[in-house]
Amino acid sequence: MPGFWDKADYAQKVMRDITQLRDEVTVWENLSKRLHDALELAELGDDELVEELENEVVGLQTAVHQLEFQTLFAGPYDKENAILAIHAGAGGTEAQDWAQMLERMFIRWAESSGLKVDIIDESAGDEAGIKSVMMSLEGAYAYGRFQSERGVHRLVRISPYDASSRRHTSFAKVELWPDVASDIEIEVDEKDLRIDRFRASGAGGQHVQKNETAVRITHLPTGIVVSCQNQRSLTQNMQVAMNILKAQLFDREQRKQEEELAELKGEDVDAGWGSQIRSYVLHPYKMVKDHRTNYEVGNTQAVLDGRLDDFMEAYLRHKVGE
């Protein structure tokens, strides 16, 4: 098509969509071929092939289940990359340690699932843990899979920071946005921005320099604050921060429209800090329970080590059911 490459961003998006569609078609074609080959082997009636066929049936069932799971991603941005943020709740060191536990849990799941994780900005805790962290998640269905984690996470345990070994309850809030800044048009007036420069340091500032390369952008009308310090130059950090700001403004508008529609339908909309989506209880018993789906498991350590697939699938099936 004449002039197709004149708009680089648009062309790259189209080529990315084509590649993704081609990959999806290839998966179905390969599955169809495997099924056809298995049927041909079964028709031979050779007893020596029984074990091979049984193993192939198990493999086909697993592949079909994975494809069925992908059909749950019905949202317009489910295939997109994602930006995820974790904020420690009230409670000082205890809550900051819990925020870092969640960061570790998400990174472990993402890396084991083939997603690329990049820390954009991180604020260390006063004594331990983190006050907040923002990271990018790049890979297939990153936003669709992680949307189950958006909300307040609650931890109940015997505090390792309490000399009296008392039980503590901690909260951390997880935010998520689709990384669609390059695909959408959002006008941001420079007069609405306050831009602060500072020196990168600590986690997320691995390329620490003497110059003020890190940037913090405050969107005055909404109060949204975005920081980035993981790039090597001020220009790069500014671009990343602006993309994140646009993604947040876009998501804010989308959620506002969804809430207005829900109110018209008479549904109760509550996105408050206290409405935890999941509880992780380590004492006096061990259990992780999602309060939206009622899905629960007793192996808390496995979940904290990143075994989140069952929670994600339960949430998606619940969402489709609604």
CATH number assigned to the domain comprising residue 255: 3.30.160.20
- Please check whether residue 132 lies inside any domain of the structure: yes
Positions in the chain whose pLDDT score sits under 70: 1, 9-10, 181-184, 201-211, 260-274, 322
Q: What is the pLDDT of residue 72?
A: 87
CB 209 within 8 A of CB 199: yes
CATH code where residue 86 lies: 3.30.70.1660
Query: Count of domains in the chain?
Result: 3
Q: Does residue 76 fall inside a structural domain?
A: no
Task: Verify that 171 and 282 share a domain, yes or no.
Answer: yes
- Distances, alpha carbon 39 to alpha carbons 25, 31, 52, 56, 223, in Å: 21, 12, 12, 11, 61
For residue 244, give the nearest of 217, 274, 282, 273 by alpha carbon: 217
Q: Are residues 294 and 170 in the same domain?
A: yes
pLDDT digits (tens, 9 = 90+) for 64-76: 877 777 788 878 8
pLDDT at 133: 96
Q: Please write the tens of the pLDDT for every residue from 239-281.
A: 899 989 988 998 888 888 777 656 654 544 333 455 789 999 9
Phi, psi of 23 (to 5 degrees): -65, -40
Q: Among residues 203, 204, 200, 206, which one has the least CA distance to residue 234?
A: 200
CA distance 139 to 127: 34
From the CA atom positions of the chain, what is the Rg in Å?
23
Measured CA to CA, the distance from residue 200 to residue 212 in angstroms comes to 7
